[in-house]
């Protein structure tokens, strides 16, 4: 059952009102929408420049702030897996009703995983994935057994308070419930019949030295389950390149590589 059918009959009432966690990036006018989902412990606002550079291609861009990553976050906000999926489905339903067609999807890391897992219900017009967390390096899995015994997980330091503030939502530890939801989705996608992914056009960007996502395993996964295109990120000229999973703006890619990223996205959208 597609998303529109799943949401009837209450879709007219609920989805015409934009959810307060779905941020519209600017006031440009377009006939199509772009829905972006950020990564785990990523400050959603750091993706705004990327979305503003994609908007001129004919899209009104929206940024989904996931549970636990919102300015009004409190310890009482639900962080169970279905709340993450519901946020994505509700945001997609709103854009589907508003524009009359599915949005273009842009997902970074955890956001990419969430979008791919739910693409059978939403059927995005196209998908752009940046370092999507679809195949992890082996040592990333070692975190999972510890989650029942800890309340927070400290992220790898960026060694600069300004960078921490710009790119991280949490500086003093991420609630373990968010990681539990992440691994829940990761397992679900591993077990799921992924034949629906061949119905969607996708473009995947990844870095060979990504510390979290396995470059070779990701490429094999994409070849086995999709017809998507794959491109390599190059941050060798970046101002900040100490952490290769962080590659999506001029500071973490360098101006030349960032301009190529935008050009590659434009060609993919226009194809």
Low-confidence spans in the chain with pLDDT less than 70: 1-16, 72-76
The pLDDT score that the predictor gives to residue 76 is 57
- Smallest CA-to-CA distance from 55 within 269, 235, 255 is with 269
Four-CA torsion 202, 8, 33, 260, nearest 10 degrees: -20
Four-CA torsion 188, 193, 199, 204, nearest 10 degrees: 50
The pLDDT score that the predictor gives to residue 195 is 96
The pLDDT score that the predictor gives to residue 9 is 39
Spatial strand order of the sheet with 126-130 comes to: 22-24, 59-64, 32-37, 104-108, 126-130, 201-206, 229-232
Per-residue pLDDT tens for 95-152?
999 999 999 999 999 999 999 999 999 889 999 999 999 999 999 999 999 999 999 9
The pLDDT score that the predictor gives to residue 74 is 52
Per-residue pLDDT tens for 83-96?
999 999 999 999 99
Superfamily the domain 3-270 falls into: Alpha/Beta hydrolase fold, catalytic domain (3.40.50.1820)
The pLDDT score that the predictor gives to residue 17 is 75
The pLDDT score that the predictor gives to residue 4 is 45
What is the pTM for the complete model shown?
Answer: 0.92
Give the whole-angstrom CA distance, residue 91 versus residue 81: 16
């Amino acid at each position: 059952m597609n998303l529109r059918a799943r949401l009837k009959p209450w879709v007219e009432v609920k989805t015409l009102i934009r959810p307060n966690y779905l941020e519209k990036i600017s006031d440009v006018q377009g006939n199509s929408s772009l829905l972006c989902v950020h990564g785990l412990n990523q400050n959603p606002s750091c993706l705004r420049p990327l979305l503003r550079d994609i908007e001129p291609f004919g899209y009104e861009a929206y940024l989904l702030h996931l549970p636990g990553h919102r300015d009004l976050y409190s310890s009482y906000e639900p962080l169970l897996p279905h709340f993450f999926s519901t946020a994505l489905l509700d945001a997609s339903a709103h854009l589907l009703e508003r524009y009359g067609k599915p949005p273009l999807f842009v997902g970074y890391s955890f956001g990419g995983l969430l979008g791919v897992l739910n693409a059978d219900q939403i059927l995005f017009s196209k998908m752009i994935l940046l370092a999507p967390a679809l195949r992890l390096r082996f040592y990333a899995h070692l975190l999972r057994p510890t989650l029942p015994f800890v309340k927070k997980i400290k992220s790898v330091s960026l060694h600069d308070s300004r960078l921490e503030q710009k790119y991280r939502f949490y500086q003093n530890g991420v609630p373990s419930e968010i990681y539990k939801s992440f691994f829940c989705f990761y397992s679900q996608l591993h077990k799921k019949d992924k034949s629906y992914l061949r119905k969607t056009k996708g473009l995947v960007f990844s870095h060979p030295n990504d510390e979290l996502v396995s470059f070779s395993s990701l490429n094999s996964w994409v070849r086995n389950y999709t017809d998507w295109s794959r491109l390599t990120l190059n941050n060798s000229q970046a101002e900040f390149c100490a952490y290769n999973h962080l590659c999506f703006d001029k500071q973490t890619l360098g101006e030349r590589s960032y301009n190529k990223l935008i050009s590659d996205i434009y060609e993919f959208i226009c194809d």
